[in-house]
């Protein structure tokens, strides 16, 4: 089996059944803040894109690069599609021209031909990526590879049961905005950064121990930050408080633990993997040029990308948009339905919108007056202007440049986490502990996503709720994508239709008419049951 590195979480796996191109990324992501590290723009993307199979683990833009996929990847490639709760990934790839999809099932092995087997392990909680993340296991001629990328499975038992893994590729570096964006003193922030970095490294080692692969390949990070506003986020001097350590730092960490099985994969590097050996050939970049001269590498990279960043910034402003009205239009209907999320947040969230400025938010200070303030009142289920009582009620405050929110509204963005928050182009302040529900809400700004998240939270409760519809008692959440059937369900005879996606269910049989699987819990209400019997 041959592995070719393409940068970040990207790789090309060459097997007897053909090549599998995984998570290719080259264009800047998240408001032009993230770039692949090291620079992979010089690779022959047309050659890499001539592939038999494509695997996109999830919709984060450092894994799913629409411009690259549209321009360079063969549209005849068969997409290994994870079993996600929504079909957003498939819709995105179809819009780019892909037509062949192999719909995998979680933890089920599929045959790719020529004796090559694969398994896609899908993660589906609202906190997994943008409503879903996944990993890929491949076996060819008895050699097994597990591309975990930045997925965080709760259990690797299903992978272990398939046989000894020869190479594990997994995330080790940060992919978040915490603690950098939080408005705290430098010493407190540094302490939090050290804790976060240590937890990341420890989690990675735990995954390594759980699987016991012969070789460990650190991938899926770190990004680098080439905009001058964000330059300080780069870990250039191996800062113990920086959450973005690079590959060389992690391999040193493994060696400090007495482990010598780490493998460095750079853009263009070729790894020949057998059941006994792992041979690496750095054909495009040399490690010394990247890590021993990291500052020079980043400075030259930034110079090459300066016009790209400037063009992106020039495109963001939409002063014609009324932000308060736009947020009300977009968020108000979702707030009305966000029972679990709104209760989980339990307080108003304040958005402070600042004037455009090239000075980083961290250097502007809290005394800079916003040009606009908006409150998302979760207890009141409304979007409004602040009132005096909010001064004590608000638990989360976010500060963004107004133009970023304008751009999100202009784009109709349904996922602020996978756009604004990961950009690190904001600051935040909170009272109390981290609240998962805040960020779940901001990644579920569509009817489909919100309904799924609410249904997922419903299913975590021991006794799922039943409701009555037209003489039938049925489970409240649709078995398909967890839509609220109290809002989207109607019954004609013995058939229930969920209007969110048009799926139909035979209530007498408790079965799905639209697709295999997806049984529904249902019975006639008592009075109607007696009438039917009599």
Q: Which residue has the higher pLDDT, 234 or 433?
A: 234
Give the pLDDT confidence score for residue 358 in this predicted structure. 57
Single pTM value for the model: 0.89
Indicate if the pLDDT at residue 462 is higher than 80. no
DSSP-based three-state secondary structure for 10: strand
Q: 3-class SS at 128?
A: coil
Confidence of residue 129 (pLDDT cuts 50, 70, 90): confident
Tens-place pLDDT, residues 492-506: 999 999 987 788 999
The answer on pLDDT for 534 being more than 80 is: no
Does position 533 have pLDDT exceeding 60, yes or no? no
The pLDDT assigned to 397 comes to: 96
Over residues 374-402, the mean pLDDT reads 96
pLDDT at 429 over 80: yes
pLDDT at 527 over 90: no
Mean pLDDT score, 35-59 = 98
State the chain's mean pLDDT as an integer: 93
Q: What is the pLDDT of residue 341?
A: 94
Work out the pLDDT band at 24, boundaries 50, 70, 90: very high
pLDDT band at residue 363 under the 50/70/90 scheme: low
Backbone angles phi, psi at 64, to 5 degrees: -120, 100
pLDDT for the residue numbered 314: 94
Task: Indicate if the pLDDT at residue 331 is higher than 60.
Answer: yes
According to the model, what pLDDT value does residue 529 have? 53
Bridge-based pairing of strands 2-7 and 10-15 is antiparallel
User: What pLDDT score was predicted for residue 317?
Assistant: 87
Secondary structure (3-state) at 274: coil
Taking only the tens place, the pLDDT of each residue in 72-81 is 999 999 999 9
Query: Which of residues 126 and 409 earns the better pLDDT score?
Result: 409
- Give 370's DSSP letter: P
Please name the helix (run of DSSP H) or strand (run of DSSP E) that holds residue 386, with its range, or none.
none
Q: Are 168 and 151 in contact (CB under 8 A)?
A: no
Could you tell me the end-to-end alpha-carbon distance of the chain, in angstroms, rounded to an integer?
A: 68
Rama region for 154: left / alpha / beta (φ>0; ψ in -120 to 50; rest): alpha
Supply the DSSP symbol for 314: H
CA atoms within 13 A on the CB side of 225: 23
Does the pLDDT value for residue 531 go beyond 80? Answer: no
Please compute the mean of the pLDDT values over residues 313-341 and round it to a whole number: 95
Confidence of residue 153 (pLDDT cuts 50, 70, 90): confident
What does the alpha-carbon distance between residue 12 and residue 16 come to, in Å, rounded to a whole number? 13
Q: Which residues contact 374 (CB under 8 A, 6 or more apart)?
A: 323, 324, 327, 350, 351, 353, 383, 384, 385, 386
Q: Is the peptide bond before 118 cis (omega within 30 degrees of 0)?
A: no
Neighbouring residues of 445: CB distance < 8 A, sequence distance ≥ 6? 330, 331, 334, 413, 414, 415, 416
Read off the pLDDT band of 93 (50, 70, 90). Answer: very high
**Predicted local confidence at residue 59, as pLDDT:** 95
Task: Tell me what pLDDT residue 517 has.
Answer: 75
What is the per-residue pLDDT across 513-522, written as a single tens digit (0 to 9) for each?
987 678 999 9
Question: Is 70 exceeded by the pLDDT of residue 95?
Answer: yes
Going by DSSP bridges, is the β-strand pair 382-384/35-36 parallel, antiparallel, or unpaired? Answer: unpaired
Q: Residue range 385-405: average pLDDT?
A: 95
Looking at the chain, how many residues does it have? 534
Rg (the chain; Cα; Å): 25
Domains of the chain (ranges; CATH) run: 2-309 (3.60.15.10), 323-451 (3.30.1050.10), 462-533 (no CATH)
Q: Which band of pLDDT confidence, cut at 50, 70 and 90, is reported for residue 469?
A: very high
Confidence of residue 150 (pLDDT cuts 50, 70, 90): very high
Q: What share of the chain is helix, strand, coil (3-state, %, to 5)?
A: 30, 25, 45
Instruction: Give the HSE-up count for residue 211: Cα atoms under 13 Å, Cβ half-sphere.
Output: 29
What is the C-alpha separation between 222 and 173, in angstroms, rounded?
A: 5
Q: Using CA atoms, how far apart are residues 51 and 73, in angstroms rounded to an integer?
A: 7
């Amino acid at each position: 089996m041959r592995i070719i590195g393409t940068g970040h979480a990207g790789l090309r796996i060459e097997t007897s059944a053909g090549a599998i191109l995984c998570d290719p990324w080259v264009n800047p992501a998240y408001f032009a803040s993230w770039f692949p590290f090291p620079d992979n723009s010089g690779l022959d993307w047309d050659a890499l894109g001539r592939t038999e199979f494509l695997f996109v683990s999830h919709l984060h833009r450092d894994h799913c690069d629409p411009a690259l996929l549209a321009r360079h990847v063969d549209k005849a490639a068969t997409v290994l599609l994870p079993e996600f709760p929504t079909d957003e990934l498939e819709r995105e790839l179809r819009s780019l021209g892909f037509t062949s999809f192999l719909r995998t099932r979680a933890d089920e092995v599929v045959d790719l031909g020529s004796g090559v087997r694969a398994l896609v392990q899908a993660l589906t909680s609202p906190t997994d990526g943008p409503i879903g993340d996944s990993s890929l296991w491949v076996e060819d001629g008895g050699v097994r590879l597990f591309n975990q990328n930045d997925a965080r499975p709760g259990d690797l038992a299903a992978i272990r049961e398939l046989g000894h893994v020869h190479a594990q590729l997994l995330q080790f570096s940060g992919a978040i905005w915490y603690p950098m964006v939080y408005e705290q003193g430098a010493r407190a922030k540094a302490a939090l950064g050290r804790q976060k970095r240590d937890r990341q490294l420890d989690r990675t080692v735990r995954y390594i121990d759980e699987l016991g692969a012969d070789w460990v390949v650190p991938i899926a990070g770190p990004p680098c930050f080439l905009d001058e506003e964000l330059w300080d986020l780069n870990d250039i001097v191996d800062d113990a408080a920086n959450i973005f350590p690079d590959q060389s730092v992690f391999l040193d960490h493994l060696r400090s633990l007495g482990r010598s099985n780490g493998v460095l994969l750079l853009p263009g590097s070729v790894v020949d993997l057998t059941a006994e050996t792992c041979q690496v050939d750095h054909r495009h970049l040399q490690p010394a040029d990247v890590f021993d001269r990291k500052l020079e590498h980043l400075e030259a990279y930034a110079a090459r990308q300066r016009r790209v960043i400037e063009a992106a910034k020039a495109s963001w402003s939409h002063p014609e948009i009324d932000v308060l009205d736009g947020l009300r239009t977009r968020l108000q209907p979702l707030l009305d339905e966000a029972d679990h999320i709104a209760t989980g947040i339990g307080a108003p969230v304040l958005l402070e919108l600042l004037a455009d400025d090239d000075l980083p938010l961290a250097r502007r200070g809290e005394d800079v007056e916003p040009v606009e303030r908006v409150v998302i009142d979760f207890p009141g289920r409304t979007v409004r202007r602040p009132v005096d009582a909010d001064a004590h009620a608000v638990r989360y405050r976010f500060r963004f440049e107004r133009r970023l929110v304008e751009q999100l509204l202009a784009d109709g963005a349904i996922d602020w986490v996978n756009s604004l928050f990961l950009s690190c182009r904001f600051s935040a302040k909170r009272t109390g502990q981290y609240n998962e529900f805040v960020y779940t809400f901001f990644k579920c700004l569509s009817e489909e996503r919100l309904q799924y998240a609410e249904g997922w939270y419903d299913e975590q409760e021991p006794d799922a709720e039943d409701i009555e519809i037209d003489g039938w008692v049925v489970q409240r959440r649709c078995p398909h994508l967890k839509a609220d059937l109290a809002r989207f369900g109607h019954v004609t005879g013995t058939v229930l239709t969920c209007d969110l996606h048009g799926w139909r269910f035979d209530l007498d049989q408790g079965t799905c008419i639209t697709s295999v699987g997806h049984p529904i819990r249902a019975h006639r209400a008592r009075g109607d049951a007696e009438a039917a019997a009599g």
